[in-house]
Amino acid sequence: MVSFRVPPGTWRAECIVPGDKSLSHRALILAGMARGESRVIGDGPGEDLAATRRALAALGVSYQQGRIISPGVGDWRPATAPIDAGNSATTLRLLAGALAAQPFRTTLVGDASLMRRPMGRLAGPLAALGALIEVGPDGCPPVTVGGSRLRGAEVEIDLPSAQVRSAVTLAALQAEGPTIITSPPGFRDHTERWLEAAGLGRRLSDSAFRVLPGAVPPARYSIAGDLSSAAFLLAATALRPGAEVTVRGVTLNPGRTGFLDVLEAMGARVRRRTTGLIHGDPVGDVTVTGEVLRSAEIGASLAVRALDELPLVAVLGAAALGDTLVWGAAELRVKESDRIAAAVRLVRELGGRAEERPDGFLVSGSGGLMGGEVAAGADHRIAMAAAVAAVIARDGVKVHGFDTAAVSWPGFPEALEALWS
């Protein structure tokens, strides 16, 4: 159990957050697919990325302090046992795509939480390329892929899922002939921007991308800061009127900035400044100034772009006056935990009022929370959101199972408390 109590007063701070987790997974896997030596500079910490590094090592890829040496995806060796993705759905889904064209079969598994995550959504899109893929009878892991030749196709994905799109893209790079991938907009398009910059694809519209098969070249990947991690510092600051924080060098990919739009909708002042592009992906600085927050309605299109941060919206809603409604976010039910239920429980256990909806939640804000004890439930984002709630909790917050935050950001509690120290 870890306790958080925030002293009165405001703060002004500048922060740098760890390398972006989504970008780091993709850089590691693309570097592993390339033949020769690549560099990944500033890749993030945490257990999820460690799982990707271990998985690549099982396939014959060497990683040492950002230096990656690989025989190339065409010469990956068969793993001697099922590959364990730990808690990382990104590791499992993206590697399923990268492994789909191998002549050998590979089985991917994970921890107890990941083994309950839906993977059936991978099967149809990868099968459209000719992949042989099997999932468990309940649509969850284990996932087994490989053993067939792939052919380019038109692949339609019914959800705006960056992980599924990226998995199909990595498979399509190894297919015979081009592939066109379409899905509803709102997804993170990091993979597609990077491949377009490398000459391996072309954007056709906001929802369609053409993959041009070919060898992934060795490259130097510089990883921007993780905006999803920064969101917890930005939210803490938004909850304290007069406080201000600037986070430097984070990804400003349009699929990642939904939470900034939420903060603005709820009355916080947000300034964004793009400072450059890395492999076609925008990077820059974000400054948030705390104000008295107002309630808001967060509908489906914005909820998709702020999906990982929606537990924080429940905390923001408790600080606002009036009802904050989130809908169109049913995907939250099948994350590391049922994050709809967990976010509502978090608010209630700290003395606030909230209720579940089938695809979201309603928080009736009263300007603050009493405080108390919360269980993280083996979900790193719930643990971190509970810590942020201490900003508006009169009696502070104690988080049981807080060590799960190390899945994404081992140094988070120190970074949070540095704001007001």
Task: Give CA separation, 157 vs 30, 105, 165, 167, 231, in Å.
Answer: 22, 24, 8, 11, 28
- What pLDDT does residue 185 have? 81
Assessment of whether the complete model's pTM goes beyond 0.85: yes
Pairing of strands 297-298, 269-278: unpaired
146 and 9, same structural domain?
no
Count structural domains, the chain.
Answer: 2
- What pLDDT does residue 161 have? 87
User: Which positions are annotated as active-site residues?
Assistant: 308
Q: Tell me if 162 is assigned to some domain.
A: yes
Tokens 């919360």, located at residue: 374
User: Domain range for residue 396?
Assistant: 2-19+224-418
What gap in Å lies between CA 203 and CA 181, rounded to an integer? 10
- What pLDDT does residue 151 have? 98
- What pLDDT does residue 16 have? 95
Neighbours of 322 (CB within 10 A): 14
What gap in Å lies between CA 264 and CA 305, rounded to an integer? 14
359 and 291, same structural domain?
yes
Q: What sign does the CA torsion over 91, 93, 98, 102 have?
A: positive
389 and 338, same structural domain?
yes
pLDDT in tens, 205-245: 989 999 999 999 999 999 999 999 999 999 999 999 999 99
Q: Tell me if 217 is assigned to some domain.
A: no
Neighbours of 158 (CB within 10 A): 12
Query: Which segments of the chain have a pLDDT < 70?
Result: none
Q: Tell me if 359 is assigned to some domain.
A: yes
Judge whether 63 and 39 are in contact, CB under 8 Å. Answer: no
- What pLDDT does residue 263 have? 98
Of 211, 246, 273, at which residue does a domain stop? Answer: 211
- What pLDDT does residue 385 have? 98
50 and 157, same structural domain?
yes
Judge whether 201 and 210 are in contact, CB under 8 Å. Answer: yes
CATH number at residue 169: 3.65.10.10
265 and 342, same structural domain?
yes
Written as six digits, the tokens of 49 are 């990325």
Q: Tell me if 218 is assigned to some domain.
A: no
